[in-house]
Amino acid sequence: MDKKWWKESVVYQIYPRSFCDSNGDGIGDLRGIISKLDYLESLGVDVLWLCPIYKSPNDDNGYDISDYRDIMDEFGTLADFDELLEKAHEHHLKIMLDLVVNHTSDEHKWFIESRSSKDNPYRDYYIWQEGKNGNPPNNWDSNFSGSAWKYDSRTDMYYLHLFSEKQPDLNWRNTKVRAEVYDLMKWWLDKGIDGFRMDVINMISKVEGYPDGEPIPGSKYGNRLPYVMNGPHVHEYLQEMNREVLSKYDVITVGEAPCTSVEDAIKYTGFDRQELNMVFTFEHMDVDSDNGLKWTDKKPDLVELKRVFSKWQTGLNGVGWNSLYLNNHDQPRMVSRFGDDGKYWKESAKMLAVCLHMMQGTPYVYQGEEIGMKNMVFHNIEECNDIEAINAYKEYTSDGRIAPEDMMRYINRKGRDNARTPMQWNAEKNAGFTTGTPWLKTNPCYTEVNVAAQEEDPDSILNFYRKVIRLRKDYPIVVYGSYELLYPEHDKIYAYERILGQEKLLIVCNFAGEAMDLEIPAEFVEKSAKLLISNYPETKITDTLHLQPYEARVYHIE
């Protein structure tokens, strides 16, 4: 067992815009985060991942960066950041920054130069192509709807943007671009930060020639994915980055990697590969999509969810490392998606925490998850802020593929704004997030779902999270044990074992809003297994467990 601090850690993800506003302008900021460090330390987490805090015109809430070495005006100053870093370290919290280098903002000075003329020294920092008969260079669509190419009249050519028009893709074939990226990484690491989450890092290498993609049914665009995901040089670039930068620091790294298979992930995270510690994969986020299409209200299928998690758990065991998440700033709230945010809100939020944190990998807690924050109801598209939802609404409703009322239902179920409503600190105005007007509406559930109320209640989701996180520190098997799925075909219960030498954990999670009986492996009864945690009052272990709705239990034998 190859011990590493980043395997033993729990990461807490902060979306700074929505976490805590210190000056009443309705936007969360760095001083707001500083004011909550005691709270964050009390959770028992080890690392804070901050979504982008750099200078940005905010076309995509900070994922469009115009200066990598400065802080977004609304969030504060570099001096505030230095103070945050120092105080976080005093609170035994490491800081991980979001590294967004597949693209920059179109307002970054590199792009302003690049677009100015064909012979500008920065021209090759981005991906420029000639059009074809007055059309874009190929039929690729962008992640945020429409063509992935934008015409620029200054030089009569098109630039590639896999995300919004204001997020032009960097040209990683250019060694100067790579050197710039390594420089800015070192600049932050030398300040003392502890790692990077790397935004869509598996998209940095594109297939040369930019061939057309397979037509997408019902759309005028073609599928770009085979040409931009896990492209021809991505591993070469990451190994170079590791050699030039990462290997010189003791840091935590996680690469965001949609459309990545277990085999790909072994290449990114393999212990002998010198690339990344782990990647965020997406297969389990697809269990409620419609043939890869996110916009649907299909319910997740538990048997499929178990199959996907188990494939990853066994696939990376001993060769790579998993990251564990059920929600983040791009995904709906996990209790609304996989649990029950009504009658069994409290039970199901706790059950999901157990189910995820007892797996092998580094767990990520997204702000508000630890108090069971729920999805929001957006009544119409004007109430939404997210560029992905707004553009998709326009595209799908205007070409008739999805009716407007259906699209709103899908956005309420899957949209990214669900995760971005203000953090709910107390039952006062705006949930204690701001004294001003919040940039995105507060979820009305804050009167019931908030930190202050849950601090008072020993039985709260918040206090339960503290216990779950603590288990990881007390029982190395939670970190290092191997994983084995039980009852793969059971469509209501997710049960699995963890194994380390003679030691075993049995994890049993009822995903149904009704009582369930489950026969468990005999050795746990014979050895009178110890109950490590449960979301119901303690009961004795028997051959057949009588599980309550959304009950979760963890048993230990050695």
Query: Where does this chain bind Ca ion (CB under 5 A)?
Result: 21, 23, 25, 27, 29
Contact assessment for residue 498 and residue 491, using Cβ atoms and an 8 Å cutoff: no
Token pair 């459309």 in the structure block, residue: 259
Nearer to ligand TEU, 286 or 340 (CB): 286
Neighbour tally for 208: CB within 10 Å = 11
199 near ligand TEU, judged by CB under 6 A: yes
Q: Which of residues 416-455 bind ligand TEU (CB under 6 A)?
A: 416
Nearer to ligand TEU, 125 or 524 (CB): 125
388 near ligand TEU, judged by CB under 6 A: yes
Q: Which does 27 bind (CB under 5 to 8 A by kind): ligand TEU, Ca ion, none?
A: Ca ion
Angle 234-244/262-269 helices, nearest 10 degrees? 20
Q: Which member of 85, 100, 127, 305 binds ligand TEU (CB under 6 A)?
A: 100
Neighbour tally for 270: CB within 10 Å = 15
Q: Which does 198 bind (CB under 5 to 8 A by kind): Ca ion, ligand TEU, none?
A: none
How far apart (Å, rounded) are the C-alpha atoms in residues 452 and 361? 30
> How many residues line the site for ligand TEU (CB under 6 A)?
14
21 is annotated as an active-site residue: no
Q: Which does 413 bind (CB under 5 to 8 A by kind): ligand TEU, Ca ion, none?
A: none
Q: Which of residues 497-536 bind ligand TEU (CB under 6 A)?
A: none
Chain Cα centroid distance, residue 349: 18
Q: Which member of 15, 49, 63, 111 binds ligand TEU (CB under 6 A)?
A: 63
415 near ligand TEU, judged by CB under 6 A: no
196 near ligand TEU, judged by CB under 6 A: no
Q: How far is the CB of 457 from ligand TEU (least distance, A)?
A: 33
Q: How far is the CB of 410 from ligand TEU (least distance, A)?
A: 11
Q: Which residues pair with 121 in a beta bridge?
A: none
Choose the catalytic residue: 74, 106, 141, 199. 199
Nearer to ligand TEU, 165 or 503 (CB): 165
Q: Which residues pair with 14 in a beta bridge?
A: 50
Tell me the three state secondary structure of residue 204.
coil
Choose the catalytic residue: 29, 256, 288, 551. 256
150 near ligand TEU, judged by CB under 6 A: no
Q: Which member of 21, 29, 59, 330 binds ligand TEU (CB under 6 A)?
A: 330
Q: Which does 388 bind (CB under 5 to 8 A by kind): Ca ion, ligand TEU, none?
A: ligand TEU
60 near ligand TEU, judged by CB under 6 A: yes
Residue 469 zone, left/alpha/beta (φ > 0; ψ -120 to 50; rest): alpha
Token pair 């420029």 in the structure block, residue: 128
327: Cβ–Cβ under 8 A, 6 or more apart, which residues?
333, 334, 337, 366, 369, 419
What is the rounded radius of gyration, in angstroms, for the C-alpha atoms of the chain? 23
Q: Which does 330 bind (CB under 5 to 8 A by kind): Ca ion, ligand TEU, none?
A: ligand TEU
199 is annotated as an active-site residue: yes
C-alpha closest to that of 485 among 313, 231, 343: 313
Residue 24 zone, left/alpha/beta (φ > 0; ψ -120 to 50; rest): left
Nearer to ligand TEU, 17 or 416 (CB): 416
294 near ligand TEU, judged by CB under 6 A: yes
In the sheet with 128-129, reading across from the earlier edge strand, the strands are: 128-129, 157-160, 149-152
Q: Which does 178 bind (CB under 5 to 8 A by kind): ligand TEU, Ca ion, none?
A: none
How many residues are there in the chain?
558
How far apart (Å, rounded) are the C-alpha atoms in residues 489 and 426? 42
Query: DSSP code of 103?
Result: B
Q: Which does 21 bind (CB under 5 to 8 A by kind): Ca ion, ligand TEU, none?
A: Ca ion
- The secondary structure of 369-405, three-state, reads HHHCCCCCCCCCHHHCCCHHHHHHHHHHHHCCCCCHH
206 near ligand TEU, judged by CB under 6 A: no
Nearer to ligand TEU, 373 or 552 (CB): 373
Q: Which does 49 bind (CB under 5 to 8 A by kind): ligand TEU, Ca ion, none?
A: none
Strands 323-324 and 362-366: parallel
In the bound state, the residue with its beta carbon closest to ligand TEU is 63
Handedness of CA 543, 544, 545, 546 (dihedral sign): negative
Nearer to Ca ion, 25 or 180 (CB): 25
200 near ligand TEU, judged by CB under 6 A: yes
Token pair 């690049």 in the structure block, residue: 114
Tell me the three state secondary structure of residue 297.
coil
For ligand TEU, the binding residues (CB under 6 A) are 60, 63, 100, 143, 163, 199-200, 256, 258, 294, 329-330, 388, 416
Q: Which residues are catalytic?
A: 199, 256
